[in-house]
Amino acid sequence: MRFWPLAVGLCTLFFQPLASADPPTDPISWLGRISSASQRLNYVGTFSYQSGRHIETSRIAHRADGEGQFERLEVLDGSPREVIRSSSEVRCVLPDQQTVIIDQASSRRAFPSRLPVSYAGLAENYRIRKGEVGRVAGYDAQSIILEPRDALRYAHVLWAEIQTGLLLKSRMLDERGEMIEQFTFSDLRIGGEIDKDLLKPRYRQGDGWRVVNVRGDQMSKADAGWVLASPVPGFELSSVVRRPLGPERGEALHLVFSDGLAAVSVFIEPVGTDGEAPVAGASSSGAINIFKRVVGGMLVTALGEVPAKTAQKIAESVEAVQK
């Protein structure tokens, strides 16, 4: 079953006083505060995720100290899921399937870490402006609006806590201004000690559990062997990882194309490695659009929180480098 690219994509989001400096006046500086706050602050809280009719609630605890970052996220609705994150690895625990997926730690894009560390180029693809100040989870929050400059990406509205810059709410909108998905804290404590018990795994692995190691080998962009033959405006290759597919199934290449905010993962793997005939074309899973095509005996799967035509453009533009 070809579930692993989507699983990797989905599994692939401190003790100090609160900042007392005056909040910035320009929206770009606000993006800088949002980008760093989720990594340098201690916080514990509950947030909800909504996409269409689907709503789920998660509890998160995050601590950063001299030893690095440590985080535990537990989904409270539906099938239980738990994500344990440290500075070196990420473990996604699926108790109902008795499965643990292990990956190396990488640039976080999960709420409340929705912004990349490097955000300076966002203005090339988005018009960025300050919105109104509102209230989220009992905190005053400054809204920042990112409007796309074309139809290849979605709009975003971010609400950041006034004093610290921590992202309290994030909403993604389509071209009609209708909500695609939203994350929002309902209860939150920022700063202070984070009890180590809040970071401990809830589920213990027993006999019969399956461990899926999807750690890959980072590669240079020049050695990827695949390129966008027809450039997609704003999207540049940001990382290349070679990942194992499993026993006797070889490896897959994982390329990430990003405009600085939106990201599209492209998985390239041999056709027929799992005995199933690939189904080409478009599909979706929640806010994620997916497009598959077969080229030269390889299955190319593009997926990301982007418009369907963007996933298709990238999938159809990816080609092997002619040697």
What's phi and psi for 35, nearest 5 deg? -60, -40
Residue 5 predicted with pLDDT over 70 = no
Helix (H, G, I), strand (E, B) or coil at 104: strand
pLDDT (tens digit per residue) in 125-183: 999 999 999 999 999 999 999 999 999 999 999 999 999 999 999 999 999 999 999 99
pLDDT tens-digit series, residues 228-271 = 999 999 999 999 999 888 766 778 999 999 998 999 999 999 98
Q: Which residues pair with 102 in a beta bridge?
A: 91, 213
- pLDDT tens digits for 16-59? 334 445 677 899 999 999 999 999 999 999 999 999 999 999 99
What is the reported pLDDT for 185?
98
CA 258 from centre of chain = 12
CA distances (Å), origin 145, targets 157, 163, 207: 5, 19, 49
Kindly state the tokens that stand for 43. Answer: 């916080």
Which residues share a beta bridge with 272? none
Q: Which of the pair, 322 or 312, is modelled with greater confidence?
A: 312
Are 210 and 101 contacting, i.e. CB atoms less than 8 angstroms apart?
Answer: no
Which pLDDT tens digit goes with each residue over 54-82? Answer: 999 999 999 999 889 999 999 999 899 99
pTM for the full predicted model: 0.87
Contact between 147 and 27 under an 8 Å Cβ cutoff? The reply is: no
Q: Exposed, middle or buried: residue 33 (CB in 10 Å: 0-12, 13-18, 19+)?
A: buried
Q: Say what percent of the chain tops pLDDT 90.
A: 68
pLDDT tens sequence across 302-313: 999 999 999 999
Amino acid identity of 127?
R
**Mean pLDDT computed over every residue of the chain:** 88
Angle at 46 between CA 201 and CA 11, to 5 degrees: 55
Which pLDDT score is estimated for 66?
86
> Which domains are delineated in the chain?
4-199 (2.50.20.10), 216-320 (3.30.200.100)
CB 95 within 8 A of CB 80: yes
